[in-house]
């Protein structure tokens, strides 16, 4: 397991895909942090919950870590490296397990970068505008840890989705369409159902103040369940399906 | 039944038994059986779509057989303890991420099976890619990609090498390099299976020949036997065919009369037939050596059933 895990980490590091996703993530977090931190009216940034929404913009890292997970699987099918990969390691659950683990680790690193960046910019905006900081140390720690954990789990979700769909374009479009269109739509129409989706589970974990969300702990557990279910389904399909 | 315990020397390197693969209603591989002997180079031949690649994919555990089984050293591929140290395979010449360097491609595979980094450098030298190893694969020529694929297959220093259409897109120099390499590999007592849809491409490399068509085995023989089997016919046009036939009979040469009135003498040369006819005072109007090329034999074997 250990050697396969190291091989998967090397795959992630040895192309420019990951670096591109990190840059994209930094750009998005910068943009949304600055927009929210500078344009929101001061009274709307006074409460703890408002500040948490601002300081937690790093949650966007989850999208990018999910894309990194998708790429880790789909680029192997797209470029055919899945063949040598499975020839060297014919026990496919070992390969997929290592990819999930690598997706979790890469996702956690995305979470650290995105979380710290989002928090830093948000904090600087509050300080620069003379708004009193409302979070205590425990809340700050929880905010950062939940961003790292949530982003890590999205990495595993990406691996699962990639293994289920296999086609790179389809997996990316599917993932983005779910995260930005389908799940928000379901949540808008049927919040009682939509709050069980992975995006809203992460919002709950991050203690966002949107109505109808689950509490943080069940939200976090639900996100773990999503990551586990998709990883297991993706692995089972990778074992069953022939490789062209 | 699955055999347990260490795979013995007595097990054939490759054993394919009644292997079958159906895709929906289409039978791609149909009850195929063959074995490979240690130390031989076998050409696995057939036209495009004959089922060669599908057979290799099943042999290597990438596709699941619909029936029958394929084993290497007495076990299925997935049951081999360290498959990369027993079997090296290249299925597609283009199985690389274009943005990854040749060296990193080999490192990621070596890493997964605990092969040392020095082994990566060894195979890079072996295929003469050490100077390009740091470059991204997208800058490689097709020949370089072929050699990088071969380097990956050789990482584990395997006993058996399986190459699917390795000569595709190689220039003549590359083909010669590959032939010499495979010859040296087999001379060490190792085994090679190479597929091709062009017999001539591998005729100078292989000892044994497996020809399949429509997923079925058509010919399993040594290249020598195959060449012998159909080589050396001479077609003769003469107004005295009866006299020629008698003369050929006396010389112990097999022959057949053709519908167009010509005589076809088998297992001989035009020189010999010309001399016999001269001595028997048989006038010759036309004398054509029909030592059909391997390619014609191959086409004959693989197209007769396609019609």
* Nearest CB partner across the interface for A7, out of B64, B101, B112: B112
Q: Which of A2, A84, A96, A237 to mutate to test the interface with B (most CBs of B within 10 A)?
A: A84
Q: pLDDT tens, B235-250?
A: 889 998 889 999 999 9
Distance from the Cα of residue B81 to its chain's centroid: 27
SS3 of B151-184: HHHHCCCCCEEEEECCCCCCCHHHHHHHHHHHHH
Could you read off the pLDDT of B269-282 as tens digits, one per residue?
788 888 999 999 99
Report the pLDDT value the prediction gives residue B180, as an integer from 0 to 100: 93
Which of B78, B101, B105 lies closest to A90 in CB terms? B78
Question: Positive or negative, the Cα torsion across B111, A227, A148, A31?
Answer: positive
The residue among B219 and A97 whose pLDDT is bigger is A97
| Neighbouring C-beta atoms of residue A109, cutoff 10 Å | 18
Query: What does pLDDT average to over chain A?
Result: 96
| Selected residue with higher pLDDT from A153 and B6 | A153
Is the torsion defined by CA of B79, B84, B86, B89 positive or negative?
positive
Q: If DSSP codes are grouped into helix, strand and coil, which group holds residue B129? A: coil
Of B52, B24, B55, B47, whose CA–CA distance to B307 is shortest?
A: B47
Q: Which residue in B has a C-alpha nearest to residue A9's C-alpha?
A: B108
pLDDT at B98 over 80: yes
Q: Is the pLDDT of residue B26 over 90?
A: yes
User: Which pLDDT does position B2 carry in this prediction?
Assistant: 44
The partner residue sitting opposite B100, judged by closest CB among A3, A14, A89, is: A14
Question: Taking CB atoms and an 8 Å cutoff, what residues of chain B touch A244?
Answer: 57
Comparing alpha-carbon positions, the chain B residue that sits nearest to A71 is B97
Lowest mean pLDDT among A141-145, A181-185, B286-290: B286-290
* Position A208 pLDDT exceeds 60: yes
Tell the burial category of B305 from Cβ atoms under 10 Å away from its Cβ (0-12, 13-18, 19+): exposed
- Residue count of chain A: 244
Question: Residue A206 in contact with residue A150, Cβ under 8 Å?
Answer: yes
| Residue B247 Cα to chain centre, angstroms | 41
* Predicted confidence (pLDDT) at residue B304 exceeds the cutoff of 60: no
Rg (CA), chain B: 24
- B60: closest CA of chain A, how far (Å): 7
Residue positions counted in chain B: 307
Q: Which of A87, A94, A97, A244 to mutate to probe the B interface, most B CBs <10 Å?
A: A87
Q: What is the chain A residue with the closest CA to B93? A: A80
- Chain B residues whose beta carbon lies within 8 Å of the beta carbon of residue A86: 61-62
ipTM over cut 0.90: yes
The whole-angstrom separation of Cα B181 and Cα B194 is 13
Q: Give tens-digit pLDDT for A12-35.
A: 999 999 999 999 999 999 999 999
For B197-214, how does the pLDDT look when each residue is reduced to its tens digit (9 = 90+)? 888 788 889 999 999 999
pLDDT at B291 over 60: no
- B105 CB neighbours in chain A (<8 A) are 81
Nearest to B111 among A7, A80, A243 (CB): A7
Say if CB B224 and CB B208 are below 8 A apart: no
CB crowding B234-248: b at 16 or more within 10 Å, else e:
bbbbbeebeebbebb
The residues with which B237 forms a beta bridge, in sequence order, are B286
Mean pLDDT over A173-189 rounds to: 97
Prediction pTM value = 0.87
């Amino acid at each position: 397991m250990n050697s396969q895990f190291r091989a998967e980490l090397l795959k992630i590091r040895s192309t420019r895909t990951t670096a591109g996703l990190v840059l994209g993530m930094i750009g998005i977090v910068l943009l949304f942090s600055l927009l929210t931190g500078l344009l929101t009216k001061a009274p709307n940034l006074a409460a703890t919950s408002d500040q948490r929404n601002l300081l937690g913009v790093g949650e966007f890292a989850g999208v990018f870590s999910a894309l990194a997970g998708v790429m880790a699987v789909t680029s192997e099918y797209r470029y055919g490296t899945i063949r040598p990969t499975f020839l060297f390691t014919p026990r496919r659950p070992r390969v997929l397990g290592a990819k999930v683990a690598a997706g979790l680790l890469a996702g956690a690193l995305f979470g650290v970068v995105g979380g710290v960046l989002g928090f830093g910019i948000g904090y600087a905006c509050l300080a620069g505008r003379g708004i009193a900081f409302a979070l205590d140390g425990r809340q700050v720690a929880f905010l950062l840890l939940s961003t790292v954990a949530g982003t890590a789990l999205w990495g595993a979700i990406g691996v699962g989705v990639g293994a289920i769909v296999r086609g790179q374009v389809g997996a990316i479009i599917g993932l983005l369409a779910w995260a930005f269109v389908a799940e928000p739509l379901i949540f808008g129409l049927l919040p009682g159902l939509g709050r069980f989706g992975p995006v809203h589970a992460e919002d709950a974990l991050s203690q966002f103040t949107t109505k109808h969300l689950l509490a943080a702990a069940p939200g976090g557990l639900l996100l773990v369940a999503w990551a586990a279910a998709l990883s297991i389904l993706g692995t089972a399909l990778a074992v069953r399906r022939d490789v062209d | 039944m699955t055999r347990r315990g260490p795979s013995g020397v007595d097990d054939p390197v490759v054993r394919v038994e009644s292997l079958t693969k159906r895709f929906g209603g289409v039978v791609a591989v149909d009850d195929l059986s063959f074995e490979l002997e240690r130390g031989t180079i076998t050409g696995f031949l057939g036209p495009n779509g004959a089922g060669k690649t599908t057979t290799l994919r099943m042999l290597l555990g990438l596709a699941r057989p619909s029936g029958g089984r394929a084993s290497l050293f007495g076990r299925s591929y997935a049951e081999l303890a360290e498959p990369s140290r027993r079997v090296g395979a290249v299925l597609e010449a283009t199985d690389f991420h274009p943005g990854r360097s040749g060296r990193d491609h080999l490192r990621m595979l070596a890493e997964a099976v605990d092969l040392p980094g020095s082994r990566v450098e060894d195979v890079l030298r072996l295929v003469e890619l050490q100077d390009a190893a740091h470059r991204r694969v997208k800058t490689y020529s097709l020949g370089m990609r072929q050699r990088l694929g071969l380097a990956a297959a050789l990482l584990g220093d395997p006993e058996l090498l399986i190459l699917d259409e390795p000569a595709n897109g190689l220039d003549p120099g590359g083909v010669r390099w590959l032939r010499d390499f495979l010859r040296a590999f087999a001379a060490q007592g190792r085994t090679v299976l190479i597929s091709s849809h062009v017999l001539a491409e591998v005729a100078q490399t292989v000892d044994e020949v497996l020809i399949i068509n429509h997923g079925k085995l058509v010919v399993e023989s040594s290249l020598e036997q195959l060449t012998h089997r159909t080589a050396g016919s001479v077609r003769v046009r003469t107004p005295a065919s009866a006299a020629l036939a008698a003369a050929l009979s006396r010389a112990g040469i097999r022959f057949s009369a053709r519908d167009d009135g010509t005589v076809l003498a088998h297992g001989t040369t035009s020189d010999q037939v010309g001399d016999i006819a001269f001595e028997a005072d048989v006038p010759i109007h036309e004398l054509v050596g029909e030592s059909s090329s391997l390619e014609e034999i191959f086409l004959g074997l693989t197209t007769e059933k396609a019609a």
